[in-house]
Structure 1
Amino acid sequence: MDSATYVEPPGPQTEIPLLGGDVTEGVVRAGETVRRTAGPNAPLVHALLHHLEAIGFAGAPRFLGFDAAGREVLTFVHGEVAGRPRPAWLADEGRLASVGRLVRAYDDAAASFVPPEGVRPAYGPSETPGMPPAPPYPPELVGHMDYTPDNIVFRDGAAAALIDFDIAKPVTRVDEVFNAMLYWAPVGDPVDADPLLREVDVPRRCRILADAYGMSGTDRSRLVEVGVLRTRRAWFSMKRMAEEQGGGWARMWDEGVGDQIKRREAWLDRNGAALDAALTAP
């Protein structure tokens, strides 16, 4: 782990709690910085953020080191997020397209990242008894893989930056786009969607994301397959995380995220053909 000590500016700083995450607790803002407890994936995340800074990617916070309390210190990213309750603009298709462009910009920046020797993701492949097979496509980059409305910062009505890289791990570009679709289309049973997104045309919104990202034809043709396999595996991985990590993972499981995943799988079975047609149509 990067052991750099953050040098505090002179004078007292008021800590303001930042809300919105499902797992990480105790996140605060202090001046122009954010303080948070380092998670199990911290060595990879810190190296990734240093890489993004080095190549000039502006859409991520900078890792500054650790404060006297042992907390991570990152730059505060100005803008607005779609916190809870969700804002009315959540369904706006212009903002949706900007999410696709931001994910593409991040993936292009991350594609040249090589994790340092000995640094491995905490959330890499982990098989659980009964877990279905993973998609048969090799990883292409270290993806963000948590494109929730809480983790995308908007400025002037467009997605400008990503925060919360805690579950970054090696994935494909299809994995990244499908993850964004989960939250922004949203892919899944409408009963589990925010009220603002329950009546939207999900295949159309998936197409908007894919076009904004600039997905290749090959990747478009793989998306439903990857989505189904990832969803089937998600039930097992979420259950394992709830049992092993507890905390927010256990709370989400207790609140029914496993049932939600099963409903998503059923939705994909019913709507996969329509989704594929929307993505691959000329």
Structure 2
Amino acid sequence: MIESSEPEIPLLGGDVTEGLVRVGETVRRPMGRNAAYVHALLEHLEAVGFDGAPRYLGVDAAGRETLTYVHGDVAVRPYPDWIADEARLASVGRLLRRYDDATVGFTPPPGVGYERPTHPAGLPPEPELETEVIGHVDITPENLVFRDGAAYALIDFDLLRPAARVDELYNAMLYWAPLNEPDDVDPGLRGLDAPRRCRILADAYGMTEADRLRLVEVAVLRTRRTWHLMRHRAEVDGGGWRRMWDEGVGEIITRREQWLERHGPAIEAALTAA
């Protein structure tokens, strides 16, 4: 059992998880649905030498998971000017590729598995994709730590799941291109060339030709499902999910799908141009 007499400093900036605190050189977090699976993956990442994630240290006296605190710069809203920097954007793609590669071969210990969240009736179909990695799939600016102007580490693995690489890249592009109506994104990410930024991420990651060709289709299908999933989590889980829904995230997702329908051809052209 991990104990400490040092003061607890609240960590702010996320949308859903509440009760995050820093204690000395550690972070204490409430346990999520797949806590054991997340802990096993973090231990796997440490074992294979991936340094771009916090280390899992155990459980403290309050029953919270305890992780190493990763020093660096994290963008919180309103985002700083550097959020639009293309060199930093490329570094996100490189870090994500290293992370995904490090998850290949991960086998959870006996008795530890991934528990899928409950899905509502009438959910639109998801893309037919093979599992390739254990995707982080929550690659928001708030979940990346930068050092010396480059992406250094991913944090907050609560939404991780078995995924395809194209899902991981769609998620990164969603937040970093970004793939949304300009009025629905932080001012620091408005007025940017989203197709160009998708290409920068794809090239930095080493995205395959097949994934470039199906990225837009995956984005549209995932967006349609997300509307239903967000409403369901607001109704079932409440908390931050309820707050986001009440603040209009459903309307934002609807506008995102319409934006993708209009700009999809330009995104695909940028991704596949010679």
Taking structure 1 as the reference length, what is the TM-score of the superposition? Answer: 0.94
- The runs of at least 4 aligned residues of structure 1 exceeding 6 Å deviation read none
Corresponding position of 1:256 = 248
1:246 is matched with which residue? Answer: 238
What letter matches 1:51 in structure 2?
H
- What's the CA shift for 1:197? 1.5
Q: 1:163 is matched with which residue: 155, 166, 190?
A: 155
Query: 1:202 — aligned with what?
Result: 194
Question: Which residues in structure 2 correspond to 1:137-156 (within 5 Å)?
Answer: 137-156=129-148
CA contact under 8 A between 1:123 and 1:168: conserved in structure 2?
no
Q: Percent identity?
A: 65
Which of 267, 270, 277 does residue 262 from structure 2 map onto? 270
Match of 1:133 in 2: 125
- Alignment of 1:119 with 2:105, yes or no, is no
Task: Say if 2:78 and 2:187, in contact at 8 Å, map to a contact too.
Answer: no
Q: Provide Cα deviations, 1:147-171, integer angstroms capped at 9, x if missing partner.
A: 0000000000000001000011011
Query: Residue 74 of structure 1 aligns with which residue?
Result: 67
Amino acid aligned to 2:17? T
- Superposed CA deviations along residues 226-249 of structure 1, whole A, max 9, x for unmatched, are 111111111111111111111111
Shift of 1:190: 1.0
Deviations 1:78-114 (A, max 9, x none): 1010112211101000000000101111000011212
Question: 2-side partners of 1:113 and 1:21: how far apart?
Answer: 27
Structure 1 residue runs of 5 or longer lacking an equivalent are none
Cα shift at 1:128: 2.5
Mapped partners of 2:190, 2:116: distance in 1: 31
Q: Deviations over 1:198-217 (max 9, x none)?
A: 10100000000000001011
Aligned residues of 1:220 and 1:276 also touching (Cα < 8 A):
yes
Q: Provide, for residues 36-86 of structure 1, a one-character-per-residue CA deviation record: whole Å limited to 9, x for no partner.
A: 111112011011101001111000001101111111110000101011221
- From 84, 98, 105, give the equivalent of 1:105: 98
Unaligned runs of 5+ in 2: none
Maintained 8 Å contact 2:119/2:232? no
Matched, 1:17 2:10: yes
Matched residue pairs, number?
A: 274
Match of 1:175 among 167, 170, 173: 167
Query: What amino acid is the match of 2:259?
Result: W
After superposition, the Cα gap between the structure-2 partners of 1:123 and 1:153, relative to the gap in structure 1 and judged at 3 Å, is: farther
Q: What is the aligned partner in structure 1 of residue 84 from structure 2?
A: 91
Select 1:216's aligned residue among 203, 208, 213.
208
Q: By how many angstroms is 1:130 displaced?
A: 2.1
State the TM-score, normalized to the length of structure 2.
0.97
Does the alignment pair 1:65 with 2:65? no
Is 2:77–2:186's contact at 8 Å kept on the other side of the alignment?
no
- 2-side partners of 1:111 and 1:189: how far apart? 34
In the alignment, the residues of structure 2 paired with residue 175 and residue 143 of structure 1 have an alpha-carbon distance, to the nearest angstrom, of 8
Distance 1:179 1:50 in 2: 24
Q: What is the letter of the counterpart of residue 138 of structure 1?
A: E
Which residue in 2 is equivalent to 1:279?
A: 271
How large is the RMSD of aligned CA atoms in angstroms? 1.2
Whole-Å Cα distance in 2 between the matches of residues 249 and 137 of structure 1? 27
Q: In structure 2, the residue corresponding to 1:89 is in which secondary structure? A: helix
State the match for 1:48 in structure 2.
41
Alpha-carbon distance between aligned partners in 2 of 1:56 and 1:123, rounded to the nearest angstrom: 28
Cα separation, 2, equivalents of 1:205 and 1:140:
24
Partners of 2:262 and 2:124 in 1: CA distance: 20
Displacement of 1:117 after TM fit?
3.2
- 1:123 and 1:167 map into 2 onto residues whose CA distance is 10
- What residue in structure 2 maps to residue 235 of structure 1? 227
